[in-house]
Amino acid sequence: MSGVLDIVREPIDPRRLEASVRPQDGAAVTFFGRVRGYAEDARAIAALSYESYESMAREELGAIAREVR
């Protein structure tokens, strides 16, 4: 992808991500969320899964990257 935004399949290492930010980048924004242990109906949350419509996601991420440059 662009190097600014990307889709990854492996876990994201926050230290590696931080180390990749260059002084000339000016800023880096990340969000780290935490999953609650239980759903609203008190059932324990066992797992999370994510999926994407990858071709559309890549198209949109590319548009965002072009806009921020």
Q: What is the pLDDT along the chain (69 residues), one digit of tens a residue?
A: 446 677 888 888 889 888 888 888 877 777 788 888 888 888 888 888 888 899 999 999 889 888 887
In a domain, 40, yes or no: yes
Task: Give the pLDDT score at 3.
Answer: 60
In a domain, 7, yes or no: no
Task: Give the pLDDT score at 9.
Answer: 84
Q: Which residues contact 65 (CB under 8 A, 6 or more apart)?
A: 1, 2, 4, 5
What is this structure's pTM? 0.53
In a domain, 32, yes or no: yes
Decide if 1 contacts 11 (C-beta within 8 A): no
CA gap 51, 14 in Å, rounded? 21
Residues shown for the chain: 69
In a domain, 25, yes or no: yes
Task: Give the pLDDT score at 57.
Answer: 92
Give the count of domains, the chain. 1
Residue 61, domain extent: 14-68
Task: Give the pLDDT score at 4.
Answer: 66
In a domain, 30, yes or no: yes
Q: What are the C-alpha distances in Å from 53 to residues 29, 43, 64, 68?
A: 23, 29, 16, 22
